[in-house]
Structure 1
């Protein structure tokens, strides 16, 4: 019981001291004064609250404004100097209980720093204003601003902190009232188990904010060398996850996705084993045919002046093999080894001779078979006679032929053989002439 009386005496003493300060301030001029903070623990039960007898704090402030409006009047100034002393005496005599009733002991926790104080504030908003606690849109106040205050209440203020969060490759700015990285991740609903964190979970978040990179653990499957490998990883790139899987890329090897891309949960990545080879092939180059008109040859008759010959070119191909499968070769170079030789052909334009009267009904094919075996280019062993009917060159030219008989078309040889028959009969062919009529 003595402890309670001592506590009340201390509160009354503090109250009297405040009245003395108020008297001095009022004498000097009007001004707003914040309540004194008593950072001591609450002791003893609060005094019973009698019915409200004096003006509220808001009413007192409005009254102060009216008083300041009358400060220029000398008579009012004299009165203002007398009134505080009278009020002090009155309050000390009979109003002590009313002021003690408005005094509240509350617990104020600002961002993890608690303290106990006495205040005449009516609600949370007024308390924070009196204590100089400024709050913003991202801060959390409990109970909510505007809530009435009672003796023994606790008011908690948690400042909002900006976090520039890069989560699995996606960046955004978020706000949190958490003190540490671990608390913030729980508030964000981020799974931290197995994740990569750029800051330790115990790192405290300053009011100025924090840069935080988080890569959660994901499942990635690699298909390489005919095998499937699945692993849990928090790697930042596919290339990093590939190394964790123990897969090495060599030479031209590649993957089905960009190596610098972020590996997604459930993603399957194929490893492409690539080899390039070079192949060289020799290919034939067809020769061209050059034709020219020859008025010495009958129409429909062609004579080859020069035989054609194909050329040769060397072609180089690049051949790519992907996972053992040969791709379509790609030609990369051509080198001409031998040029082709054109074939030269003379085409007759001469009008064919008319029928030879007296010789057209004979068996000229039988005669040719007997003389040359039916070969238009046949030549006897001595080189004197040639063609189907074994003309000598002098006789052939006397009949209008040019060159050698064995070089002329078969039709022309037959035509000139008929002319010879009309002139000399079958005598030019003493052994085979009878075949013409046999």
Structure 2
């Protein structure tokens, strides 16, 4: 073969070898790209499935808001995953068996103690928010038509509280009441001014009433008079009031402001001056100065004219103590009821 032809053949062989190498390189890069693409697709699919399976759930519990990303299928499993313990009477919405969905909100209400007092007994229970009426129904407590509940039946119980059932009953009773008599005054020209006597005694009347008594838990709390009749009318008492203001005693006429019936005792020297500061002598008497002011001139029947000049711890009200010169005279006087004239 000529040399020229042989050189051409060599050149063609070298060209084919380079192309084959390039093609091989392209095939290798294509395979790597395919593998990388497959890996990317795998990760994208895995992330998509992961994102599709994971749900974001908000839990409201104990006054807080907790956001949880979860694969749990039910509310019960979610709470277990979040380490949230439930009491026996705690309330969960949606229900524990509900299926989890993305964006779901779960509310947990903790049960609290409530005391119900009825018929003298105390009932304690745990509950979540409930109307008072439903609470009584749970306890099978029945109400009478007039019974009262505090708080009212329609009110919601939302926190620890005491509920009271008040039993209301009524009774109609017949009662008698005394009607007090009134006092009338009439002038008596035969009686000294300041003195009085009962001219005719009064007598109370009698009324009969029908009363409706309201009881709450056995205790009377209200009385309403339904009817009333007067069985006996009261009789007024008549008191005669003295009008005489001048008398004659011991041959002397004198005017007086008032007369009083008083209990009179007697005393003698004690070695001390009187409360008015003077030495005691016959004609001085001790009085209750809230009844007869110190220095008042008096006429005491059986004793004579006198002046209020002393007082004593035992002399109170309508009592008077007469000074005697000797102990024997004081003993002879003793205790007497006398008429005392307060002079003008």
Interval containing the TM-score (normalised by the shorter chain): 0.3 to 0.5
Q: Which has the higher contact order (CA 8 A, sep 6+)?
A: 2
- TM-score when scaled to structure 2? 0.44
- TM-score when scaled to structure 1? 0.37
More helix by share: 1
More strand by share: 2
